[in-house]
């Protein structure tokens, strides 16, 4: 592979914003990739994949390169040199790469690969928490979370079928395959920009990880029900619920962020999901008005997002032990206060994209012992393992109000 100066420099610029200015990787890349109209899909792909790779392996590469945060420009070039050397890419004779110790890089890599926190490129505290909560399973899970995520689509069954969506994408040069056990999912065989396709603009699919697609069926929704999605965000699961309800009944999508609900409205329009109503949680009255009203309630609770590190590798550098403690409190508060929305005999699902029992099974156990939880029983729960499924780490618990 021949390295092109403008693409390498764009990668270095992106890394500087992500590491030194604490900006979100996906947003930084969105802006970087618009910088030069002459870049083809291969050029943009190089910048995006290389940036994500170096973000994912930041701790390991920084240790090999002997550089420390905040990273100067020459530090970032040294980390890039580590990335290229470990991939067998010959470094060009640019002054930025003068004196790169290729042999020493490989030797240090072999040495550090024996220590998990370097091998898997994670902060000390996260390695300790993972081992404490998951024991021997932690090795396999964190290794799986460092693999690149597949691009998974959820076919919008309000407008099309799996086979028709597959054909529509094939006509636009995008090949996909079905996934056993995930009836609405298609996996891209090769990465591509699906958002520019006619099929996407026509609402035939959304991008949604396979694990996330398990939630709507787990919630056991039926056409004609009143369903509340209490932490809806931009609405991936609300849209899937609407499709399962065949546009019959009502989906009330709540969130504390107006911008996310605006995005949900746009997506619902494109999906032709007509039974979704958005409501902004401005105060407790919004929740109180819904007490005892819902046949089904989805609590897709805020969490550490450890289960989705493969698609958000920059988040492991932003997480902290303090945040983990705060988010556990928030999760329990949401369970205690929002569970009142469920009517007698109704059901709710508590879900997170975390693999830590302290955010999952332990939260349900605490809730069931509380005053708010004494009227609920656990019907079933499911923990999705990244190492076993190949997809995001996820947890779901289905509870019924007696």
Given a cut of 90, whether residue 99 has pLDDT beyond it is no
Q: Kindly state the average pLDDT of the residues 164-185.
A: 97
The whole-number pLDDT of residue 1 equals 87
Taking a C-beta distance cutoff of 8 angstroms, is the pair 238, 264 a contact? Answer: yes
CA–CA separation, 157 and 162 (whole Å): 8
Q: What is the CATH number of domain 212-401?
A: 3.40.50.150
Q: Do domains 5-121 and 152-207 have the same CATH topology?
A: no
- For residue 353, indicate whether it is catalytic: yes
Residue 378, beta-bridge partner list: 399
Phi, psi at 209, each rounded to 5°: -60, 150
Q: What does the angle CA 358 – CA 359 – CA 365 come to, to the nearest 5 degrees? A: 70
Given a cut of 90, whether residue 374 has pLDDT beyond it is yes
Mean pLDDT over the full length of the chain: 96
SS3 321: helix
Query: How many CB atoms within 10 Å of residue 319?
Result: 19
Q: Is the dihedral of CA 251, 330, 220, 290 positive or negative?
A: negative
The whole-number pLDDT of residue 129 equals 98
The whole-number pLDDT of residue 236 equals 96
Please write the tens of the pLDDT for every residue from 67-90.
999 999 999 999 999 999 999 999
Q: In percent, how much of the chain has pLDDT > 70?
A: 100
CA–CA separation, 186 and 198 (whole Å): 17
The whole-number pLDDT of residue 103 equals 87
CA–CA separation, 292 and 294 (whole Å): 6
Domain ranges of the chain: 5-121, 152-207, 212-401
Q: Which two tokens stand for residue 392?
A: 């995001």
Q: Which contiguous run of DSSP H or E holds residue 186? A: strand 182-188
What does the buried/exposed string (b/e) look like for 56-68 if buried means 16 or more CB atoms within 10 Å of the residue's CB? bbbbbbbbbbebe
Displacement of CA 16 from its chain's centroid (Å): 23
Given a cut of 90, whether residue 314 has pLDDT beyond it is yes
Q: CA separation (Å) from 15 to 2, 32, 48, 50, 307?
A: 20, 11, 11, 10, 23
Please write the tens of the pLDDT for every residue from 242-287.
999 999 999 999 999 999 999 999 999 999 999 999 999 999 999 9
The whole-number pLDDT of residue 378 equals 98
Query: Is the CATH number 1.10.940 carried by domain 5-121?
Result: yes
Displacement of CA 390 from its chain's centroid (Å): 14
Taking a C-beta distance cutoff of 8 angstroms, is the pair 103, 151 a contact? Answer: no
Active-site hit among 353, 396, 397, 399: 353
Taking a C-beta distance cutoff of 8 angstroms, is the pair 318, 352 a contact? Answer: no
What pLDDT band is residue 388 in, cutting at 50, 70 and 90?
very high
Taking a C-beta distance cutoff of 8 angstroms, is the pair 206, 159 a contact? Answer: no
Please write the tens of the pLDDT for every residue from 102-156.
889 999 999 999 999 999 999 999 999 999 999 999 999 999 999 999 999 999 9
Which class does domain 152-207 fall in?
alpha beta
Query: How many CB atoms within 10 Å of residue 339?
Result: 22
Query: For residue 124, how many C-alpha atoms fall within 13 Å in the half-sphere facing its CB?
Result: 0
Edge-first strand listing for the sheet containing 250-255: 276-280, 250-255, 226-229, 294-300, 342-352, 394-401, 376-384
Given a cut of 90, whether residue 21 has pLDDT beyond it is yes
Please write the tens of the pLDDT for every residue from 203-240.
999 999 999 999 999 999 999 999 999 999 999 999 99
């Amino acid at each position: 592979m021949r390295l092109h100066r403008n693409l390498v420099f764009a990668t270095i610029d992106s890394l500087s914003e992500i590491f030194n200015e604490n900006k979100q990787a996906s947003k930084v890349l969105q802006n970087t990739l618009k910088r030069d109209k002459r870049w083809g899909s291969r050029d943009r792909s190089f910048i995006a994949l290389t940036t994500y790779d170096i973000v994912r392996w930041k701790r390991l590469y920084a240790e090999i390169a002997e550089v420390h945060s905040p990273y100067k420009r020459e530090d970032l070039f040294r980390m890039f040199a580590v990335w290229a050397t470990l991939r067998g890419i010959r470094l060009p004779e640019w002054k930025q790469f003068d004196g790169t110790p290729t042999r020493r890089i490989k030797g240090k890599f072999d040495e550090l690969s024996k220590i998990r926190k370097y091998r898997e490129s994670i902060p000390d505290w996260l390695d300790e928490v993972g081992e404490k909560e998951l024991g021997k399973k932690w090795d396999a899970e964190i290794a799986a979370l460092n693999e690149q995520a597949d691009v998974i689509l959820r076919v919008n069954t309000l407008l099309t079928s799996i086979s028709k969506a597959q054909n529509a994408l094939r006509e636009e040069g995008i090949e996909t395959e079905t996934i056993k056990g995930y009836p609405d999912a298609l996996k891209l065989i090769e990465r591509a920009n699906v958002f520019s396709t006619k099929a996407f603009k026509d609402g035939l699919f959304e991008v949604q990880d396979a694990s996330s697609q398990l939630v709507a069926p787990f919630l056991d929704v039926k056409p004609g029900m009143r369903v509340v999605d209490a932490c809806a965000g931009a609405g991936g699961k609300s849209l899937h619920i609407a499709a399962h309800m065949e546009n019959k009944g009502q989906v009330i999508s709540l969130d504390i962020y107006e911008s996310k609900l605006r995005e949900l409205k746009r997506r619902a329009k494109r999906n032709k999901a007509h039974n979704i109503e958005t409501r902004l949680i401005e105060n407790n009255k919004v929740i109180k008005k819904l007490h005892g009203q819902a046949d089904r309630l989805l609590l897709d609770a805020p969490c550490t997002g450890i289960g989705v590190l493969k698609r958000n590798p920059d988040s492991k550098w932003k997480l902290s032990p303090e945040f983990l403690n705060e988010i556990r409190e928030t999760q329990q508060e949401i369970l205690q206060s929002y569970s009142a929305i469920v009517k007698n005999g109704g059901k709710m699902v508590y879900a997170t994209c975390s693999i830590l029992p302290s955010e999952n099974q332990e939260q349900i156990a605490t809730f069931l012992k509380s005053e708010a939880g004494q009227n609920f029983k656990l019907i079933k729960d499911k923990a999705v393992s990244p190492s076993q499924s190949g997809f995001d780490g996820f947890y779901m618990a289905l509870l019924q109000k007696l």
